[in-house]
Amino acid sequence: MRIEFYDTTLRDGAQAAGISYSLSDKRQIFGLLSSLGVDLIEGGDPASNPKDAEFFAECASSKLVAFGSTCRRGVPACEDDGLKKLAETGAGTVCIFGKTSVRHVEEVLKATKEENLRMIADSVRFLKERVGRVIFDAEHFYDGAEEDADYALQCLKAAAEAGADTVVLCDTNGGTFPERAYALTKTAVNAIPDVKIGVHFHNDAGTAVANSLAGVRAGATHVQGTFLGFGERCGNANLSTVIADLILKGGCDRTVDLSALTRTAHAVAEISNVKLDPAMPYVGAAAFAHKAGMHSDAVIKDPRTFEHVSPEEVGNRDSILLSEVAGRSAVAKKLETLFPSLDKSSPKTKEILDMIKLMELKGYQFEGADGSFVLLAEKMMNAFEPSFELEHYCIKAVKPDGVNTAEVAIRVGGEVTSVTETGNGPVNALDKALRAALAKHFPQIDEVVLTDYKVRVVDSSAATGAMVRVLITSSDKKETWTTVGVSTDIIEASWSALTDSFEYKLTGRGRIV
């Protein structure tokens, strides 16, 4: 079965709180989705703002869709400026939305039901005479069908009879449940059998993906969504999940390069300046992560025991998380990359596992601190050779200016290097001083950037004397690693995580997966 996938990240996704795409952002995301194999990509409404107009002027592709609305109440389609601009974009496909809910027609449009039918038919007919393909988005269809099913279907038929190539049923409020999504989609499929039916669900009830799958089961062959579920309020159907579900589980034609799904998801999130949810199905960093000892052991023996699909199919990978609940198999799996000759039954494996559990009892966390685990394992295997040694560090804060000064002295070989730097906080000053001292001996340190810094109070009941955990994520643009430090002194915890971060770079061991 061939399903057509339609992405609206650049329009519906851009309506999400906190997301704003530049012209360059739109170009990049369009290129990523196009390369992935998404059939149609909505570029926005060229009649609504200069940025979208410029995007359409620059981007010529058969996948590009221009979006707009039906003509205004009381205005013939041939005189509607918005429709004229849509027709002039050069896009081969145009998608327009129109009302199918009596409540919206009468209370929002302030129109009669007959006038709304005229607006739909007139607009579709006008565009069909000027562009290759016209898609009609039946706004509020599912709510409208619950209010007045006959009228909602009249709206669909008006669009179909006027020449719409695809009629899309929209759950604009996002409150429909799968059983109703199935039943109402089936009704629409039967009502206009000669026109391709699509579905467009919002996620206000948390059912957008399930509704999309129900719509396909009911006969829809066109699915709209935003690639990562971005959208107004609670977002849209997550198209990356829908695509994987339908191809891997639903028997649909493999029209999308699933091996690039995860990479594309992370790239779109990065461009959108949004942290990708680790638990996002298929593409999240934790989608195939295993922490419980029995689970990890089973996955190592046979991945199918706790993985519903192979992570490689969607371009992801599994990972074994280390923690106090990890078993010997999990530790051995991590260690085999570092020390291939180390046997799983070796006493050293158990010794390292026991140390991890002891340190986590004190507040450490290794499941997300791969860099610190590498260094810990090397030290316990007597394979660690420190790149530098700390002579001393000192931090001074001057008020009221708030200037922080850090002095760091390190020993490399027989040479002591001391550097003083100022920063916008004690940790920033410490980072700059240590970085500057190391760079004099190790130029590759200049490649390292700190990308994330997290502080967590381990035991808040101890108030200001509580143990704190610091996680630092660093990158050299080739790989990313995280290190951890724990202490009752936040500066000491930060120092520990910082030194581990730089040592990890200098050991050159490579990341453990």
Q: In this predicted structure, which of 152-156, 472-476, 493-497 has the lowest mean pLDDT?
A: 472-476
pLDDT at 304 over 50: yes
pLDDT at 513 over 50: no
CA dist., res. 160 & res. 136, Å (int): 9
Instruction: Output the pLDDT for position 333.
Output: 63
Helix (H) or strand (E) holding 44: strand 40-44
3-class secondary-structure state, position 367: coil
Task: Tell which residue, 93, 62, 67, has the closest CA to residue 82.
Answer: 67
Q: Which residues make Cβ contacts (< 8 Å) with residue 261, sequence separation at least 6?
A: 36, 240, 243, 244, 282, 283, 314, 315, 316
- Domain regions of the chain by residue span: 39-221, 388-441
Q: What are phi and psi of 419, to 5 degrees?
A: -135, 140
Q: What is the pLDDT of residues 85-143, one digit of tens each?
A: 999 888 899 999 999 999 999 999 999 999 999 999 999 999 999 999 999 999 999 99
pLDDT at 487 over 60: yes
DSSP symbols for 372-419: HHHHHHHHHTT----S-EEEEEEEEEETTTTEEEEEEEEEETTEEEEE
Domain boundaries 388-441, corresponding CATH code: 3.30.160
Q: What are phi and psi of 195, to 5 degrees?
A: -120, 140
Strand ranges across the sheet with 389-398: 389-398, 403-412, 415-423
Q: Which residues make Cβ contacts (< 8 Å) with residue 453, sequence separation at least 6?
A: 427, 470, 471, 472, 473, 494
Instruction: Output the pLDDT for position 322.
Output: 53
Mean pLDDT for 489-495 is: 90
Q: What is the pLDDT of residues 351-387, one digit of tens each?
A: 777 777 777 777 776 666 778 778 877 787 777 788 8
CA dist., res. 485 & res. 471, Å (int): 7
- The answer to whether the beta carbons of residues 146 and 172 sit under 8 Å apart is no
| Band (212; pLDDT cuts 50, 70, 90) | very high
Q: Model pTM?
A: 0.71
Q: In this predicted structure, which of 6-10, 183-187, 253-257, 370-374 has the lowest mean pLDDT?
A: 370-374
Q: What is the pLDDT of residues 50-90, one digit of tens each?
A: 888 888 888 878 999 999 999 999 999 999 999 999 998 88
CA dist., res. 251 & res. 52, Å (int): 36
pLDDT at 324 over 50: no
Instruction: Output the pLDDT for position 261.
Output: 96
3-class secondary-structure state, position 357: helix
| Band (511; pLDDT cuts 50, 70, 90) | very low
Q: What percent of the chain has pLDDT over 70?
A: 87
Task: Tell which residue, 379, 374, 297, has the closest CA to residue 335.
Answer: 374
Cβ-count burial of 275 within 10 angstroms (0-12 exposed, 13-18 middle, 19+ buried)? exposed
CA dist., res. 247 & res. 239, Å (int): 12
Instruction: Output the pLDDT for position 510.
Output: 44
Q: How many CA atoms are closer than 13 Å to the CA of 104, on its beta-carbon side?
A: 22
Mean pLDDT for 287-308 is: 64
CA dist., res. 253 & res. 64, Å (int): 22
Sign of CA dihedral 126, 132, 138, 139: negative
According to CATH, the topology of domain 39-221 is TIM Barrel (3.20.20)
- In 130-258, the DSSP E strands lie at 133-139, 166-171, 196-201, 222-225
